[in-house]
Amino acid sequence: MIRLAANLGLLFPELPFLDRFEAARNAGFQGVEIPFPYDHPAPEILSRLDRTGLPLVAMNAPPPNYTGGARGFAAVPGAEERFRHDFRRAARYAATFGSPHLHIMAGLAQGPAARETFLRNLTWAAAAAPTLSLTIEPMSPSDMPGYFLADFDTALAVIESVGAPNLGLQFDSHHAAAIAGDVLAAWDAVAPHVRHVQVAGHPGRREPDPAALGTLLARMAAAGYAGWVGAEYHPAGPRTADGLGWLAAVSRPS
């Protein structure tokens, strides 16, 4: 059964971070994503998870200084030691929170050396954290110029080359639309490799269109996907709750 999680990095920005957990539960979400939990004491996050009964289902590997900082280091030649140091920290956080999925950000890099660095770092990370589900996510050049992982073909080739059972794909419908044009066709091409899904409207990364999302969720269910779907978008209005009609629409029994 597909379950919906609120990305607390983007949703409910009108609230202090620690108040977003209860807001997500009250809105009807069944879990939460926290892309970068490193700026908050772990006990405070654990307390909110326990209080609301919401599981943390996905987070990103460092850097914790994402705002204005680098978009990861996994494919950046010369940053291997930084990557390993930050990955160990991320893995500790993921274990503390019980997060099943840890998204490893590739960073801004290009060329054969970047690919080899990415492969080596992912191989090391998969062995260093065998109980975690590690994911990589293609990001469109329009959203993140210069990001190493910019298409699905490269992502699948990397996963195949590493060959680790705990490495898979994070599928973001917004990036899929920007990269491939046809989200459903993109899903069909990569479905067996997907471990986690994120959704948003395109263009603009606003609220998902209920009809389009319903079609995608049905296609995912038909492919046997039974994991989490994270809502990762920028609310169009000042109150996140005012734009959650899509959640009610896709949550109704068919």
Catalytic residues: 137, 232
**Residue found by looking up tokens 């460092």 in the block:** 62
Q: Is the dihedral of CA 163, 66, 60, 237 positive or negative?
A: negative
How far is 101 from 58, CA to CA, in rounded Å? 5
Distance CA 159, CA 71 (A): 20
Rounded Cα gap, residues 187 and 16, in angstroms: 35
Q: Which helix H or strand E contains 169, and what residues bound it?
A: strand 167-172
Give the 3-state secondary structure of residue 87. helix
What is the DSSP code string of 15-82?
Answer: S-GGGHHHHHHHHT-SEEE-S-GGGS-HHHHHHHHHHHTPPEEEEEPSPTT-TTS-SBSTT-TT-HHH
